[in-house]
Amino acid sequence: MGYTIAVTGKGGCGKTTISGLMISSLIRNGMAPVLAVDADPNSCLDSVMGVTVHKSVGTVREEARKIAAANEVTGVSKRELLELKISESLVEAEDFDLVAMGRSEGPGCYCYANNVLGAVIREISDNYPYVVIDNEAGLENLSRRIVKSVDLLVLVAEPSMNGLRTVARLYDLALEMGIEYRALAVVVNRVRGDGVSAMADEVAQKIKADYTVMIPVDDEIAGYGEKGMSLRNLPVENIVVREVDRFMRTVMQRGEE
Ligand SMILES: Nc1ncnc2c1ncn2[C@@H]1O[C@H](COP(=O)(O)OP(=O)(O)OP(=O)(O)O)[C@@H](O)[C@H]1O
Ligand SMILES: [Mg+2]
């Protein structure tokens, strides 16, 4: 599996924005093709990346289930059918591919189809140097073990005391759930001034984060979000683009060490 980055955090804190910018940065730094995984059923990583998903993995799983139930499978195993179907849900762009997970089958479901899908996604991801997973708020997807362990867990925080406390709680939850990661990053998003930096350092130290990243609030990014424009069209001079670039270059450097 390629170097896997999973992004999580509270609702609306900027997970999809940060995921999209990290993917663009990796591409700019010669890491194409990147595999983008949209693991949030309500998310829109595809529009942030300027592509459209027609079929989620959840949809494909249901289709495969119906075909199998109607006994229309002749000479094709259930696993092969799922493998075949998953290729239908992969959106191929020039320098990245994107797959959207869609709905889960409910909490605590470790059924056969999910296991196969997890295995297939792990297989697919061997073809990419980097995999970036945009998760829904909380740690559901990671706990569902679509991805067993990640190289870098990115916790995105709101720039406030409560936001940072949430990150500390997410960390405790990750430990409780046995989520495995090699490196941990705290990304404080929409920062104004340096009012929260001491608090961010304190939390980062407490949870033994390897990276503490401060991303400023930016009108241009907000404008793109409001209009639903793809972040791929942002100028490289944009302050947030530059900060995410800096973060990704450090990650890539450490990955090579
Ligand atoms: N650094 C920033 N400066 C200004 N606006 C930002 C910044 N980061 C994110 N935003 C805006 O905040 C809004 C929420 O961001 P985003 O959709 O990335 O959050 P999310 O955590 O993925 O949300 P959800 O939990 O709903 O998936 C978007 O409109 C986005 O444009
Ligand atoms: Mg999102």
Q: What distance in angstroms lies between residue 154's CA and the mean position of ligand 1's atoms?
A: 15
Single-letter amino acid code for the residue at 70: A
141 CB less than 6 Å from ligand 1?
A: no
Position 181 scores a pLDDT of 92
The closest of 212, 45, 31 to 131, measured between CA atoms, is: 31
Closest residue CA from atom 12 of ligand 1: 14
**What is the rounded distance in angstroms from the CA atom of residue 148 to the CA atom of residue 168?**
22
Position 109 scores a pLDDT of 52
Cβ atoms 152, 188 nearer than 8 A: no
How many domains does the structure of the chain reveal? 1
222 CB less than 6 Å from ligand 1?
A: yes
- List the CATH number of the domain containing 121: 3.40.50.300
125 CB less than 6 Å from ligand 1?
A: no
175 CB less than 6 Å from ligand 1?
A: no
pLDDT of the chain, 257 residues: tens digit per residue = 789 999 999 999 999 999 999 999 999 999 999 999 988 878 799 999 999 999 888 888 778 777 777 766 566 677 777 777 778 888 999 999 998 887 765 544 546 656 666 777 777 888 899 999 998 887 766 655 566 688 999 999 999 999 999 999 999 988 888 888 999 999 999 999 988 999 999 999 999 999 999 999 999 999 999 999 999 999 999 999 999 999 999 999 997 66
- Look up the domain containing 103 and give its range: 3-256
Q: What distance in angstroms lies between residue 97's CA and the mean position of ligand 2's atoms?
A: 18
Q: What distance in angstroms lies between residue 43's CA and the mean position of ligand 2's atoms?
A: 5
Position 110 scores a pLDDT of 46
Q: What distance in angstroms lies between residue 82's CA and the mean position of ligand 1's atoms?
A: 33
Q: What is the dihedral of CA 191, 192, 195, 200, to 10 degrees?
A: 10
**What is the rounded distance in angstroms from the CA atom of residue 183 to the CA atom of residue 4?**
11
pTM greater than the 0.85 cutoff = yes
**What is the rounded distance in angstroms from the CA atom of residue 69 to the CA atom of residue 188?**
47
Position 53 scores a pLDDT of 93
The closest of 119, 102, 121 to 35, measured between CA atoms, is: 121
Single-letter amino acid code for the residue at 176: E
Mutate to test the pocket of ligand 1, among 8, 13, 17 (most ligand atoms within 8 A of CB): 17
Q: How far is CA 2 from the centre of its chain?
A: 13
